[in-house]
Amino acid sequence: MKRAVIFEQTAVFGMKISAFTMARNAVKYYFPIRECILSALPIVDEFIVALGDSDPDDNSKGVINGIGSAKIRIYDRVWNHADFVDGRIFGGETNFALSQCSGDWCLYLQADEVLHEEDHAIIREYCERFAGNDRVDGFLFSYLHFWGDYDHYLPYHGWYRNEIRIIRNNAGIYSHGDAQSFRKKENQKLNVIKIPARIYHYGWVRPPELMTSKKREQDSMHWGKAKAEAEYEKRDTLFDFGALGKLPRYKGSHPKVMRDFIGRMNWKDKLNYSKQTDLKRLPAKHEITKYRLISWVERRLFGGRQLFGYRNWNLLNSNKL
């Protein structure tokens, strides 16, 4: 009871923030959907969930309802298999969830993304400060991508370091591509401010067998089910995370809402903590020599600034607005 009261303590006057997400089979595939929602509840006035028609062995709806917050509104959705190509289904469901938001600002979190409680105040501060400035379409967050476990992350070229995660409501803004980012009418990039807040991305941290199952499900949404099934018949059932010993260790704190979820990790014996590996899959970007070389140049010669990086926005200077 005490926890529920704490999560309901938010400002109710003036500017309003909605949060929204879409998901399907989230619990089955080890998404921290509960933690995702809990991480935003203290700073939002509502949380919209577009929940797809999950498999019978998935309990995402029960887990979300178990949070016990009146702020959460679940919309049961039937995913259209005709949209299971090029990730269209993800954008469509994201746009539906966005359409149900009533706030001045809308915070988008994918089901494997979590906010840190240390960033709550700064997020609300920026939303309040620029609520009346229509030149600002949204806010850009920094990313921490974890890989294999909760101790290793990917500050490498090719892994996006920033993304738009708060957008102005009712401004003609829509989900772009496969729901990674946003644009506005006539396919224009958004004008955004980069804020000192982080997204903790845990999409690549799950048991190896579930990592493979999740990838199969996700790829079926891009390639079509038949092609995905044929491809995964040739792959190992255990996803190979490679040599974690080559990756930097994360020395900061994780969001408090992740404490129990992290504590349930039970696949360390299936990971390779050495610096030697014989990959059983195609290499990820951080494992390709070209990208590792670019990352070295960025780190040593440019102070970590990413060269030729992904940038789906127009960056504004907040001090000049």
Return the HEC string of 61-121: HHHHHCCCCCCEEEEECCCCHHHCCCCHHHHHHHHHHHHCCCCCEEEECCCCEEECHHHHH
Considering only CA atoms, give the Rg of the chain.
20
Three-state DSSP state, 193:
strand
Q: What is the pLDDT of residue 13?
A: 52
What number of other Cβ atoms are within 10 A of residue 153's Cβ? 24
Please report, rounded to a whole number, the percentage of residues in the chain having pLDDT higher than 70.
96
Q: Which of 138-142, 225-229, 247-251, 306-310 has the lowest mean pLDDT?
A: 306-310
Note the pLDDT tens digit of each residue in 184-205.
Answer: 999 999 999 999 999 999 999 9
Ramachandran area for residue 158 (φ above 0: left; ψ -120 to 50: alpha; else beta):
left
Torsion of CA 217, 145, 254, 241, to 10 degrees: 70
Contact 166, 190 (CB under 8 A): no
What average pLDDT does the chain have?
92
Q: What is the pLDDT of residue 81?
A: 77
Return the higher-pLDDT residue of 311 and 113: 113
| Region 64-73 average pLDDT | 98
pTM of the model: 0.93
- DSSP for 255-271 reads PGGGHHHHHT---GGGS
Going from N- to C-terminal start, the domains of the chain cover 1-321
Contact 134, 46 (CB under 8 A): no
Amino acid at 175: S
Contact 105, 169 (CB under 8 A): yes
Number of residues that this document lists for the chain: 321
Q: Which candidate, 75, 74, 78, places its Cα nearest to that of 89?
A: 78
Long-range residue pairs from 310-315, CB within 8 A, at least 24 positions apart, any chain: 310/160, 312/163, 312/164, 312/176, 312/181, 312/183, 312/189, 313/138, 313/140, 313/164, 313/181, 313/189, 313/190, 313/191, 313/192, 314/189, 314/190, 314/191, 314/192, 315/140, 315/192, 315/193, 315/194
* Per-residue b or e along 100-131, where b marks 16 or more CB atoms closer than 10 Å to that residue's CB: ebebbbbbbbbbbbbbbeebbeebbebbeebb
